[in-house]
Amino acid sequence: MTGITSDQVRAVVAEMAGTVDDWRLRRPARPSAPRFGANWIGPVMAIGSTLVGWFAFTDTLGDDGVGFALFIGSVSIMLMAWSNLLSTRMIVLEQLFGGVDRMYRWHRWFGALAVAAMWLHTQTVDDVKGIAGASRDVAEAAEDLASTGTNIIYALVGISLLRWIPYRWWRLSHKFLGVPFAFACWHFYTATKPYANDSWWGRWFTGFMLLGLAAWLHRVVWRDMIRRGRRYRVTSIRRAGDTVTIELEPVGRGIHYQPGQFAFIKVQARGLSEPHPFTIASTPGESVLRFVIRDLGDWSGRLAQTLSLGDSVLVEGPYGRLELLPATDDRPVLWIAGGVGVTPFLAAATASSSARSHRPQMIFCVRSRDDAPGLETLERAADEGRIELHVFASAEGRRLSAEALDEVIADVSIAEAHVVMCGPTALVRDMRAALVARGVPHVHVEGFDIRTGIGPDLSRQVDQLLWRWFPSMASKQNDEGSERDETPATAGVRSGAKGN
């Protein structure tokens, strides 16, 4: 370990202090679906299967609050089970919940509500007896395990809330949530209830508990350790400013995807093996996968510095249900992208037919044309008559505003337009408000906001300190480190680089 100077200590303290905005606790994003339809089947199923448990305890509702304590305990169990199920990223669940981004918003809400219900259960429950055929000692031992699990969950919640904890360390701790869930399931199974475990209600709750445990094992063991994705190798690396474009060639059978979808990539190199999600920039007809990745954090910073030709990459996916083009050709199309948020539009622009009655109006907001990712692809698509391109480069003094938006959409029936936006949160928020004020009924976005909390995100700073002061420790940790969370931790809305 090298010496630590006072300037370094002050710098670390300043980073830990962050800003006032860093310490403002933000409400998690509401897990809304675009429209009421098939994508609401999943949420309705989850909430309905949880609340229907009320009828299992109606016979004890007047017994000094025992019935309510049991019911709220079942709510915690059911929501944990659903949260585990959503973490698997199963395609059928993606369809029922309206996309992976909304799956994980529900995943977070179910997890948070499960913890709240668990706390309420501990405040209302009194005496615990054993189920028929089991001793009171078994039930009390199970309750002790559940109490231990409760403390573990509270500790993990604290880790989640304090953003000082590097993201990949939080991800590692997140994997242990299945342990307190298993404790809670055993406690619920062995505690006395107004029904037998071999009754209909018993099978109902036991079935969901087993599903939740199986989902946790599937995610942690099968997906993270055994079947980790399709193998690719790096065939091209192009760096421009703070972005890097990589191309991957399949080793064997590759994945099949549609424009606008994304995939998780796991670079099999020191310090880069944790999975991160990125939008696929190539078209389905190409022989390679292309990703445009911006340096947004510790992982992407190391990627730009250490990735080499021939490196092995595992790709998991594809995921995503971003509808870039309407099902019919009779609606105008408006695309708005900021920075690397242009990534999902690159393949769509190339694939768009020049014979469309309404060519997509593509608004691209960048700092400068020189480092604008994918600009050549968009310009080529515009020259071929596939899109109408409008570039707003702040270096040229041209920024997208409500007035500038009016100029672009002057000849567009905006109330009937199919609008898709990808980019920084502020851009999406401001343009969404402007479009709604102009009569747009719905704006298509995929938003990812995985880890809320308080305090500045010190992932990059901690990583740099480890590499500087404890190089052997950092190398070992990065080799053995956890995978990134199931969904990206960026502050943007469907940006090209979803993770950091």
Q: Do domains 230-322 and 333-444 have the same CATH topology?
A: no
Decide: 377 and 412 in contact? Cβ < 8 Å.
no
Domain boundaries, the chain: 35-226, 230-322, 333-444
Q: Which helix (H) or strand (E) element contains residue 290? A: strand 289-294
pLDDT for 202: 92
Of the candidates 399, 340, 343, 337, the one whose C-alpha atom is nearest the C-alpha of residue 371 is 340
* Cα→Cα distances 442→34, 44, 167, 334, 437, Å: 7, 22, 33, 12, 11
- pLDDT 10s digit of each residue in the chain, 500 long? 455 677 767 776 777 776 766 666 555 545 444 455 667 889 999 999 999 999 988 876 555 667 788 899 999 999 999 999 998 888 888 888 888 878 888 888 898 899 999 999 888 876 555 455 455 677 778 788 888 888 888 888 777 777 777 767 777 778 888 899 999 999 888 888 888 888 999 999 999 999 999 999 998 888 777 777 899 999 988 887 778 888 999 998 889 988 888 888 888 776 666 778 888 888 888 888 988 887 666 667 777 777 888 888 999 888 877 788 777 777 888 999 888 888 888 888 887 776 777 888 899 998 888 878 888 889 999 998 898 999 998 888 888 888 888 888 887 888 888 889 888 878 888 888 888 888 888 888 866 555 666 666 666 666 666 666 655 544 444 433 333 333 333 333 443 334 33
Whole-angstrom distance, CA of residue 499 vs CA of residue 223? 19
Please name the amino acid found at residue 153. Answer: I
Whole-angstrom distance, CA of residue 213 vs CA of residue 80? 10
The CATH code belonging to domain 333-444 is 3.40.50.80
Could you tell me the end-to-end alpha-carbon distance of the chain, in angstroms, rounded to an integer? 27
Decide: 304 and 234 in contact? Cβ < 8 Å.
no
| H-state helical runs in 232-280 | none
Whole-angstrom distance, CA of residue 450 vs CA of residue 370? 32
pLDDT for 12: 66
Decide: 444 and 493 in contact? Cβ < 8 Å.
no
| CB neighbour list of residue 72: distance below 8 Å, 6 or more residues apart | 117, 120, 121, 124
Whole-angstrom distance, CA of residue 291 vs CA of residue 281? 5
The CATH code belonging to domain 230-322 is 2.40.30.10
Whole-angstrom distance, CA of residue 457 vs CA of residue 161? 11
